[in-house]
Amino acid sequence: MDQIIVTGNGELSGEIPIAGAKNACLTLMPATLLSEEPLTLTNAPRLSDIRTMSTLLQSLGAEVTSLQDGQVLAMSSHDLTNHVADYDIVRKMRASNLVLGPMLARLGQAVVSLPGGCAIGARPMDLHIHGLEALGAEIELRDGYLHAKAPGGLKGATVEFSFASVGATENVLMAATLAKGTTVLKNAAREPEIVDLATCLRKMGARIEGDGTSTITIEGVDRLSGATHPVVTDRIELGTYMLAPAIAGGEVECLGGKLHLVESFVEKLDQAGIDVTETDRGLKVRRRNGRVAAVDVTTEPFPGFPTDLQAQMMALLCTAEGTSVLEEKIFENRFMHAPELMRMGAQIEVHGGTATVHGVERLKGAPVMATDLRASVSLILAGLAAEGETVVSRVYHLDRGYEHVVRKLEGVGAKIERVKAE
Ligand code: EPZ
């Protein structure tokens, strides 16, 4: 398994291009199942999760062709031949469950394996099931698979989510586009990836209003056409790379970055002493003084502070002046990066969903282990300013959500390399 070696190497400067959003692409791809006509995505990120989703869609009979070095995905679901999403694929990537709603709407049936837990939590699907049953689906759990059917088609209904679940909102939104009548989603997720999905579905002929707010209204239509759609910028990759100059010092411009995608995150950076300026090319980031100030962070659904940036923010706060308290409210086990940061000299106390970080002057490089996607990149960020060498193992986690991380950081002056571990 590969390792990434980072050596603290002083201030950074230059530009980092931000790719299309993994979490938008992973819900836009299953949308192809809703139509017999081709759906083409541009600005797609080159990631292993995207390749996993391609494999899943192909197993259902869809055609997925990757063009221009993976930046364009040309898809067609004219002839679907299978309605079973196999455990072997789903267990690797939870987002595979996003084929449930579209398949149910298009075929009137779907069999999707429950994803099983993952490192950061149990991640049940009760909200997905609740929403789809409200549209008239009959869903039964058997042998670890959800067996769903809607022989007479789906019917519009009002669905109230007890929690603003991103995936449940996406699954039910896609299903509702082909349901008979009107569907109203209440307490829907408001993430930019939901808006990107709704924008693409509208291009395909869907009738959707209110995306980006807590109430989304969908008027079902008989069929959807094809479309071509650019994947929205990845706000989590953006926030991740904005933390590189925040941690190491210097100034970096994140190309393609848009302030509206990361407002609550930028508020916290400002409190910590980081300047963010929107330019016509992206977001320019520089640290105001030699050391950042401690800040408290609580993760919430959008537009609150994103849980997917919690680990990266913790890496910054490890060397802040003062004590920071981070509350993880979205997932039950998302502090696995803390013990690894402590190997680098960080002083962190974790109690349940709360981590208290006492800032130290400087971290020391050490061998550390990536445990999940966002934890892996937080260790690399910490290594940028640590004294000496940090060796991050199990970097396959990283490949799921970050394309060319070594090249992008090398490009702004980081001392970083990827080596094949013996
Ligand atoms: C999406 O996951 C993202 N993944 C996650 O990003 C992100 O952390 C999460 O939203 C929250 O923003 C993709 O978009 C592919 P949820 P999702 O449904 O849809 C509980 C990354 O690093 N819940 O909003 O699974 C659930 O257990 C990944 O890129 C239920 O209880 O998130 C969790 O605690 C990690 N029942 C919370 O809600 C359900 O039916 C948030 O889940 C569904 C969810």
Atom of ligand 1 nearest to the CA of 164: 24
**pLDDT at position 289:** 85
* Ligand 1, pocket residues at CB < 6 Å: 22-23, 26, 94-95, 121-128, 163, 165-168, 307-308, 330-331, 373-374, 401
Per-residue pLDDT of the chain (422 residues; tens, 9 = 90+): 899 999 998 999 999 999 999 999 999 999 999 999 999 999 999 999 999 999 999 999 999 999 999 999 999 999 999 999 988 888 889 999 999 999 999 999 999 998 876 677 777 899 999 999 999 999 999 999 999 999 889 999 999 999 999 999 999 999 999 999 999 999 999 999 999 999 999 999 999 999 999 999 999 999 999 999 999 999 999 999 999 999 999 999 999 999 999 999 999 999 999 999 999 999 999 999 889 999 999 999 999 999 999 999 999 999 999 999 999 999 988 999 999 999 999 999 999 999 999 999 999 999 999 999 999 999 999 999 999 999 999 999 999 999 999 999 999 999 999 999 76
**Could you give all domains of the chain from N- to C-terminal order, each with its CATH number?**
2-19+233-420 (3.65.10.10), 22-230 (3.65.10.10)
Total Cβ atoms within 10 A of residue 290:
8
Q: Count the residues in the chain.
A: 422
Place of tokens 């300026």: 277
Q: How far is the CA of 71 from the centre of ligand 1 (A)?
A: 25
**Residue carrying the six token digits 């640290």:** 287
Atom of ligand 1 nearest to the CA of 121: 27
Question: How buried is residue 339: exposed, middle or buried, by Cβ count under 10 Å (0-12/13-18/19+)?
Answer: middle
The residue to mutate among 100, 165, 191, 397, having the most atoms of ligand 1 within 8 angstroms of its beta carbon, is 165
Task: Scan for tokens 């603290």, then name that residue.
Answer: 8
Contact 416, 5 (CB under 8 A): yes
Measured from the Cα of 191, ligand 1's closest atom is 12
What's the predicted TM-score (pTM) here? 0.97
Residues annotated as catalytic (active site), given as ranges: 118
1: number of Cβ within 10 Å? 9
Cα–Cα distance measured from residue 274 to residue 379, given in angstroms and rounded to the nearest whole number: 20
For residues 335 and 312, the answer to whether their CB atoms sit within 8 Å is no
Rounded CA-CA distance 164/289 in Å is: 38
At residue 108, the 3 state secondary structure works out as coil
**Ligand 1 center from residue 76 Cα (angstroms):** 27
**pLDDT of amino acid 192:** 98
CA dist 32 and 367 (Å) reads 43
pLDDT at 115: 81
